[in-house]
Amino acid sequence: MQTAAHTTAAEVTAPRIEDVDLVVVGAGLFGLTVAQQAVEHAGARVHIIDVRDHIGGNAYSYMDEETGAEIHKYGAHLFHTSNKRVWEYVNRFTSFTDYVHRVYATHDGEVYPLPINLGTINQFFHAHYTPAEARALIEEQAGELAGTDPTNLNDKGIQLIGRPLYEAFIKNYTGKQWQTDPAELPAAIIKRLPVRFNYDNRYFKDTWEGLPTDGYTAWMERMIDDERISVSLNTDFFDTDQPFNREALSAAGKPVVYTGPVDRYFDYELGDLKWRTVDFKEVRYDEGDHFGCPVMNFSDADVPYTRAIEFKNFNPERAESQNPNRTVVWEEYSRFAKRDDEPYYPVNTEADKALYAQYEARAAEVPNTVFGGRLGTYKYYDMHNVIDTALTAYENAVAPLLG
């Protein structure tokens, strides 16, 4: 039901190594930003390679022909930032809708607003607490953890929102997402989830928020719409049968920006960094709108998936071009990633951090090579973080390589 994978106009016969100034491995946001900056500021000739059949990395999207929905192939991507430099940069290539992200959760047969806010609290307890009363209640329900700063997710969740709310909305959801006892997970994971003692259920608090008006792929295409940028898709950096491989580029002394898995670059010599991945199950309904919102979390343990995404609801402004009688939903199932899976979230245990530190030290010694992006630095990044780090990496590390 989808359109064919998009082939960018820049994808032409690969140039010769000697005819390019910079090779970018990975056509995600980090790589595209660096490529664009290298052309704009250094007049460089840039060749991008990617093992996938499309540009855009995990932000890639395509149109579903049956429903008219824009499908985010690698899960929901929502742009938001308070970084003025990033906001001004991205607006050079796309305008944004006025979409504001709000999430809802189904628990015990009832739907609640997330993140936890005064509306969630009053609905859950069938009460009409004031902000002060709600704060006092949460502190009481946090028990001996109130006023502490726990290091594990389980205790941090109880400290933040009290045991009843934590067990209803966070404990089982987190258990499904990580397949790990929350007591074994770091508290930093839950610190990303805001808690509010008012009725504000806007998920993000950034200054700017929205979705690209013409879709993610159109945005990415515009970033590299320059004759000095060429792209080779379905091209594996580690395949010695293609000219832009690791060994050939090293021998040629060409500057390289590498955005693939850092442990893969070194052939996993020190061991594998651990990741979480997501499997998607597609469900189609004979109705125009199934959930009434873009994202519905499922907080209970008896539902095997963590959440469901209804893509049409990200773009209500496109209603006239969407099928009023059919909708598509993706259910998300989380698990530990194997080498051949798509890595989404770094597990980041202390052992993983120590292992990455060793790989990072090795990466610093690779000549003419800059490691970046989510996979190249073993970090979880939102899109605006990726762009910001790419702009900085170009200025501090890539530009000097271009002379």
Instruction: Assess whether 192 carries a catalytic annotation.
Output: yes
Other CB atoms within 10 A of residue 84 CB: 10
Cβ neighbours of residue 208 under 8 Å, at least 6 residues apart? 80, 81, 82, 87, 96
Amino acid at 49: I
The single-letter DSSP state of residue 173 is H
Question: Which entry of 196, 246, 326, 374 is annotated as an active-site residue?
Answer: 196
Calpha distance 195→305 (Å, rounded): 23
Provide the phi-psi class of 342: left if phi over 0, else alpha when psi is between -120 and 50, else beta.
beta
Q: Of the candidates 264, 275, 265, 271, which has an alpha carbon nearest to the alpha carbon of residue 354? A: 271
Pair type for strands 307-310 and 295-298: antiparallel
Question: Which entry of 21, 64, 263, 332 is annotated as an active-site residue?
Answer: 332
Question: Which entry of 139, 236, 289, 382 is annotated as an active-site residue?
Answer: 382
Question: Which entry of 246, 307, 326, 374 is annotated as an active-site residue?
Answer: 307
Q: Of the candidates 58, 122, 109, 126, which has an alpha carbon nearest to the alpha carbon of residue 278? A: 58
Question: Which tokens sit at 347?
Answer: 């597990």
Instruction: Assess whether 104 carries a catalytic annotation.
Output: no
Question: Which entry of 181, 239, 380, 395 is annotated as an active-site residue?
Answer: 380
Q: Of the candidates 293, 290, 283, which has an alpha carbon nearest to the alpha carbon of residue 103? A: 293
Instruction: Assess whether 382 carries a catalytic annotation.
Output: yes
Instruction: Assess whether 196 carries a catalytic annotation.
Output: yes
Instruction: Assess whether 92 carries a catalytic annotation.
Output: no
CB–CB of 115/193 below 8 Å?
A: yes
Question: Which entry of 144, 192, 241, 350 is annotated as an active-site residue?
Answer: 192
Residue with tokens 């395949």: 239
Through-space distance between the first and last CA atoms of the chain, rounded to whole angstroms: 47
Question: Which entry of 276, 310, 326, 356 is annotated as an active-site residue?
Answer: 276
Q: In degrees, to the nearest 5, what angle opens at C-alpha 396 toward C-alphas 391 and 397?
A: 100
Question: Which tokens sit at 139?
Answer: 């502190």
The single-letter DSSP state of residue 305 is S
Calpha distance 382→218 (Å, rounded): 19
Which residues form the catalytic set?
192, 196, 276, 307, 332, 380, 382
